[in-house]
Structure 1
């Protein structure tokens, strides 16, 4: 195998940024030689097109290319091989800076580092070529020759969400996530801390969604409060959980001391935990009450929902221990069914961790459970929670139709909410069918797919009328829907054929009654007035 290390370039103020992807093989509807070029330093990109146009496959390709690189760099088995040329940029971090210093053995100031660009070529089983350069402030191009671990030159996190639980966009990411989790659980007391520098793989699966929302609702910082105001929530009062560390063999799951400490800190919000068992994690149900405890939460978790979520995520991950080691290995190797269904392989016995109930106080003083939120409330909180909790420098978000359940007002605020919530040095690529969302996007930041081919956006979408966007991009040429359109056409032909003033006046009244305010109603009424005057 040819294995040389990447190409890295650097410009000030850049976030992670995908630069170029060229397919060197057929991938579903995309042909060999298909090339995608990304706008330089676009922090938010929209992917659009009608159903079946290729927009979800485009997102899938990006995820699977990164999974291919991840597998080859870490010497994992490659289950889905793709041939490609790929370039992306990273914003400088202290870790990347230390790698540059170690490579060059020179006094090179962090302030002189601009942008790092990574170039990868993968073709067949024998070619995997990666090179890295960086540029200083005077644009000197310097190659990194002795990179020890390429993992640090991958995105810090790859976070994937699919509104419709798209299997093809998630399966390979979930496979390697399971490989990492299995490796950890098989050796969690002697886990290699260097694995912390690997790209974090996050697919926002159902089991984790409520945990993300709970994690942000317990805080009162500026960004969280803007979200609470949007959905008219005052605070999260409490939630209930079950803990069962007893295994089938009647032995208890033993956890590292640090994790035990974090779980105890969380259970400390229950009035029963320390009274029951001060030294160990006792099995049972716990009601965690947070009313009037926001100052404690802020101090305990450093005012960062991510710190709380890590504990809840860890507890949810423990449920994988309910799957035998042999079955976990089978899942990792399996191609014939969806590995997205990992959690369906739990035995019928109790899970190690389960979120049971919750109580959310709304602004109108009513209390609801987290699953009592409307689909739109749940989705907007979830998307913003994952952007806030997983957002850090050099994170790439791939969101497949994250605005499906939002009402028109929230759709119009969607892009501005993403901009407010996510880290400035992360990049978000989302797909949408909503023209209202696209009125906040520049044309150069939109990938428009039609019949599997990338098309140019030939209108200025920013601030444009949604009806124009709907016509140009989604092929909807009517401003009213099909049933109303048929009625419009019936009235149009009726007016065209009618000469009786009395009949025209009756038709006019019917139109005023049947049609709401629209350009179509105005056109019909104008046609009547013109006939009456003639």
Structure 2
């Protein structure tokens, strides 16, 4: 999918985005650019509103997913918890291009332009316009309301992204809220399927996935089990993570029960939480394990995996794809919320995003239904030595790197949108400088060639939106894809492309970008600069120039500021 435009139209706006705020993404006048990897980088000072765009998109897609859903848990049917006529933002226009899996080629000729509008207090509406997306083709409305019998999702489901991915390095509660609500919906969906004696349960209907530390383990595991050396090359490189492969891991499952009330006797009925998974996914997992054993007394199941080629073949036979494997682990992780009571769920469903983390309890190891243990990675160190290391021993920067690259590999051939809020905060300067290239390598490595109907361009399938304060990342993005956020004196937010402002970003020096975008002319820290200015005062007061220059050189490292100061005082003499 490729985003075209978002406009906020409700009177109250959305957070710092006022009514009338508009941001333009791809242009229909330059469709060739859509076939290349061109992430959108939102830049600006703190509080300028760049993260609010990610938050608005997450909220909008959450609202649409609930509107079109075939299945809704009873908790969401309560109008106090969700109303089709109320969204945040409550009035908007969203436009994007999207292709369908049932068509032969992923080329724009087979894409549709999707226009979603919502008026305040009204239900959203969806319209589609086939290629070439102009007046020569008719615009028609697509229903966002499922059939009354709810035997299928609404027709509009086919025109939504297959996956909406959220990630924030700063624990952005507003961004994570719709994803947390989705997790609770998944739990309720599964719980009611268990109560109603479904035969099996494969994956939740809702497409929102939030990548936190726990979920990233599932992402990495699925990638290392299914991907080949070519697609894993960006991770394997010694200058990135040096990961050579997966050595071993253990899965710990506590066999907890759901408790239901019998409608007739009003007695409590206990049903194993894994009832719908026992005969299919869980049995498949046992067949992939090197060994497994259970303790009936503690109601615990352990599965050990010593990973070799046979292990990988077993996973490919029973789970077929890395995404299918991930979806199973994702479901198990979401079942960790099984102990959350109905009152807490309702509190979260009605939450506007502030202090949501405090509302949702965190389970103890015994309350958890599922977690990984002894997750060992085979890693090449900078010294050239190869060593097995626990995943938990990796640095914050390495974990952050794996979050982002792993999910790109996992969704390389899926139509998706990635909302990444400052994904590089723990990176060293070298990693920041190569972040965009590595993202491109991760996505492009999965580009199939020589298919019967032609090459498969994965870049048309997804859009990547990220916020950043890093001039290194901005320097790797084209000016049409760098959006600068500013607030005027009245507090109104504007979002303009660097190309509109006449700012060249691609390949531009990070010092120049820091000056032009972040209004910071100095290349050294403020404290060092203040101390350097004290030397300038001493020069101006008449102290001996040669002695002060020697003292200046002894105290400060090399910088443009120091050279300019020395030149200034020597020119005066």
TM-score normalised to the size of structure 1? 0.82
Query: Aligned pair in 2 of structure 1 residues 157, 191: CA closer, same or farther (>3 Å)?
Result: farther
Matches within 5 A, 1:159-198: 159-188=165-194
* Native 8 Å contact 1:173 1:201 kept in 2: yes
Question: Does residue 72 of the first structure (1) align with residue 67 of the second (2)?
Answer: yes
- The separation in 2 between residues aligned to 1:276 and 1:56, in whole angstroms, is 46
Partner of residue 452, structure 2: none
Q: Distance in 1 between matches of 2:57 and 2:349?
A: 21
Give 1:110 shift.
9.4
Match of 2:7 among 5, 21, 45: 21
1:439–1:461 Cα contact (<8 Å) kept: yes
Match of 2:281 among 237, 259, 262: 262
Gaps of 5+ in 2: 144-153, 260-268, 444-457, 488-492
User: Residue 530 of structure 1 aligns to a residue in which SS?
Assistant: helix
Structure 1 residue 51, shift from structure 2 partner: 1.0
User: How far apart are residue 17 of structure 1 and its match?
Assistant: 2.1
Match of 2:266 in 1: none
The question of 1:321 aligning with 2:338 is answered yes
Shift of 1:320: 3.0
Asked if structure 1 preserves the Cα contact closer than 8 Å seen for 2:90 and 2:121, the reply is no
Structure-2 residue corresponding to 1:498: 542
Q: 513, 516, 520: which is aligned to 1:472?
A: 516
Deviates more, 1:465-474 or 1:296-305: 296-305
1:130 is matched with which residue? 126
Q: CA deviation at 1:304?
A: 4.5
Number of the residue aligned with 1:416: 437
Query: Which position in structure 2 is the counterpart of 1:50?
Result: 45
Query: Shift in Å at residue 527 of structure 1?
Result: 3.2
Aligned to 1:449: 485
Q: Work out the CA distance in 2 between the residues paired with 1:146 and 1:380.
A: 39
Residue 113 of structure 1 deviates from its aligned partner by: 3.8
2:20 counterpart (15, 29, 33): 33
| Structure 2 counterpart of 1:10 | none
Moved more, 308-317 or 438-447: 308-317
Q: Contact 2:93 / 2:116 at 8 angstroms: preserved in 1?
A: yes
Q: Alignment partner for residue 96 of structure 2, among 63, 83, 89?
A: 89
CA deviations over 1:345-382 (Å, ceiling 9, x no partner): 54784422122222222212233211110111111011
Match of 2:449 in 1: none
Contact residue 113 and residue 130 of structure 2 kept, 8 A: yes
Partner of 1:118: 114
**C-alpha contact 2:113 2:128 (8 A) present in aligned 1:** yes
Structure 1 residue 526 displacement after superposition: 2.3
Could you tell me how far apart the structure 2 residues matched to 1:248 and 1:59 are? Answer: 36
The answer to whether the aligner puts 1:365 opposite 2:386 as a matched pair is yes
> Which residue is 1:242 aligned to?
252
Number of corresponding residues = 500
Asked if the contact 2:90–2:118 (Cα under 8 Å) also holds between the matched residues in 1, the reply is yes
Q: CA deviation at 1:150?
A: 0.8
Partner Cα distance (1:285, 1:308) in 2: 18
Q: Which runs of 5+ in 1 are unaligned?
A: 1-14, 99-108
Task: Give the equivalent residue in structure 2 for 1:226.
Answer: 234
Query: Does 2:464 align with 1:428?
Result: yes
Q: In the TM superposition, what whole-angstrom CA distance separates every residue of 1:205-229 from its partner, at most 9, and x where no partner exists? A: 3331222223323444312132122
Give the match's secondary structure for 2:110. coil
Q: Which of 510, 514, 520 is 2:561 aligned to? A: 520
**Structure 1: how far apart are the matches of 2:121 and 2:555?**
66
Match 1:379 to one of 396, 400, 419: 400
Q: CA 1:315–1:342 in 2, change beyond 3 Å: closer, same or farther?
A: farther
**1:103 matched residue in structure 2:** none
- How far apart are residue 146 of structure 1 and its match? 6.6
| 1:237 and 1:361 in contact (8 A); partners too | yes
Match of residue 437, structure 1, among 469, 473, 476 = 473
Worse overlay, 380-389 or 520-529: 520-529
RMSD of aligned residue pairs (Cα, Å): 3.5
Paired residue secondary structure (1:366):
strand
Closer, same or farther in 2 for the Cα pair 1:323/1:513, shift >3 Å? same
319-328 or 22-31, which deviates more: 319-328
